[in-house]
Structure 1
Amino acid sequence: MKKIALLSLSLMLLGTQASCQDMQKKHKEDEAMAQKEQTAVEVKSTDGYERAYFASGCFWCVEAIYESVKGVKESISGYSGGHTKNPTYESSNTGRTGHAEAVEIIYNPKVISFSDLVDVYFGSQNVTQVNGQGPDRGSQYRSIIFYQNDEQKKIVDEKYKEQEQIYGEGNVAAQILPFQKFWVGEDYHQNYEKRNPYNSYILGVSIPRLIRFQQKFPHLLKEDQKH
């Protein structure tokens, strides 16, 4: 009798767990759909410089990649794509804020185009990896391209289709979302690769990823980044 009771309890717990997982999945799907239906926010240019926003795994890696690109004045680490205000590194890492580690790219459109920045984006990651890059796993590391207007969305859609032709339809992991807001990350995350060159993660993950990108796109590099 005890065995039957325990078995029944186990089945109930498994059913409850599965139900919770289904609810969480549906919530994430509903949230993603709601985000896609939002109107994109366009950031005004300042002193001739424009801004673009991308998420592609650890922002330490992405920041360093874009700062090696000609025409890029600055790359700032932060958070975007979620539903909470004032996200932090700790809160975003729970995966419950909806935010991904992202970068704000401040660039000169006379030197580098938004289209080129999207090429850098796809060319510096594992395009097919879902919810992460390399060893970093979780929704906070997912890939997102944020667009600010119809022209940018058209560019992103075309580049996305090109990637699907290479990797197969349904195998490109990046989300395409209308930009809403970028939250600047904590000070200690900024220029992390430059300020912490001997950090084990930087040596083992960030720098190899940067080098792979630089070898693929030498024509887009700043002069002091060419080897």
Structure 2
Amino acid sequence: MENLSVATFVGGCFWCIEAVIQRLKGIESLKSGFSGGFIKNPPYREVCTGRTGHAEVIQVTFNPDIISYHDLIYIFMTSHDPTTLNRQGADKGTQYRSIILYHDEEQKTITEKVFEEVISLYEDPIVTELKSFGVFYNAEGEHQNYYNNNQDARYCQIVIDPKVQKLKNLYADKII
């Protein structure tokens, strides 16, 4: 357990990015939650209003011997649209912004490199924020492992299923 690393990021709804990232080899644990705002321990219903300053984020504990931070961020940056400001699909507001919260200078440097690598994949400029990690608050239990627990829900079928399928098509060698 001492060789594990932590990454914190989101690209819109945490349910979507959680469903993608948790399927990767080397992911030891994953929590959905909130970060980047000014209210301590915010409940989901408050974050959804956009008035807390928080974004819906995931915090991932991973084994860098199995999946590198570079690959993790590259997959993240190609599994959502990093060119839409405060929005992913129908989800709108600052709580759905694309953001990477780096935990040290090495993560910051690697993320900047990945930004340069993926920029040519998009017609529009990348608006994903890159900020130093501050604090992470767990979301309520019903938001953890959401896709796996609710695959019959319309939102999962319409919004998340295509993201999971894209992961399988592009990164088959990296998934469990």
Q: Which residue type is aligned with residue 74 of structure 1?
A: S
Name the structure 1 match of 2:128: 174
Structure 1 or 2, whichever has the larger Rg, is: 1
- The 5 A counterparts of 1:6-85 are 46-85=1-40
CA distance in structure 1 between the partners assigned to 2:57 and 2:20 by the alignment: 13
Q: Which residue type is aligned with residue 199 of structure 1?
A: A
Name the structure 2 match of 1:101: 56
Name the structure 2 match of 1:209: 163
SS of the residue 1:60 aligns to: helix
Aligned residues: 176
Give the one of 88, 97, 110 matched to 1:155.
Answer: 110
Name the structure 1 match of 2:78: 123
Report deviation, 1:163.
2.8
CA distance in structure 1 between the partners assigned to 2:24 and 2:166 by the alignment: 14
Judge conservation of contact 2:6–2:103 (CA < 8 Å) in 1: no
- The 5 A counterparts of 1:128-139 are 128-139=83-94
Name the structure 1 match of 2:99: 144
SS of the residue 1:77 aligns to: strand
Report deviation, 1:194.
0.8
Q: Which runs of 5+ in 2 are unaligned?
A: none
Q: Which residue type is aligned with residue 146 of structure 2?
A: Y
Judge conservation of contact 1:95–1:139 (CA < 8 Å) in 2: yes
Give the TM-score of the pair, scaled to structure 2: 0.94
SS of the residue 2:100 aligns to: strand
- More helix per residue: 1 or 2? 1
CA distance in structure 1 between the partners assigned to 2:108 and 2:127 by the alignment: 17
Q: Which residue type is aligned with residue 99 of structure 1?
A: H
Name the structure 2 match of 1:164: 119
Q: Which residue type is aligned with residue 176 of structure 1?
A: L
CA distance in structure 1 between the partners assigned to 2:2 and 2:68 by the alignment: 16
CA distance in structure 1 between the partners assigned to 2:122 and 2:75 by the alignment: 17
Judge conservation of contact 1:123–1:213 (CA < 8 Å) in 2: no
Percent of aligned positions with the same letter in both sequences? 37
SS of the residue 1:126 aligns to: coil
SS of the residue 2:169 aligns to: helix
CA distance in structure 1 between the partners assigned to 2:158 and 2:166 by the alignment: 13
Report deviation, 1:81.
1.3
SS of the residue 1:153 aligns to: helix
SS of the residue 2:130 aligns to: strand
Report deviation, 1:48.
2.9
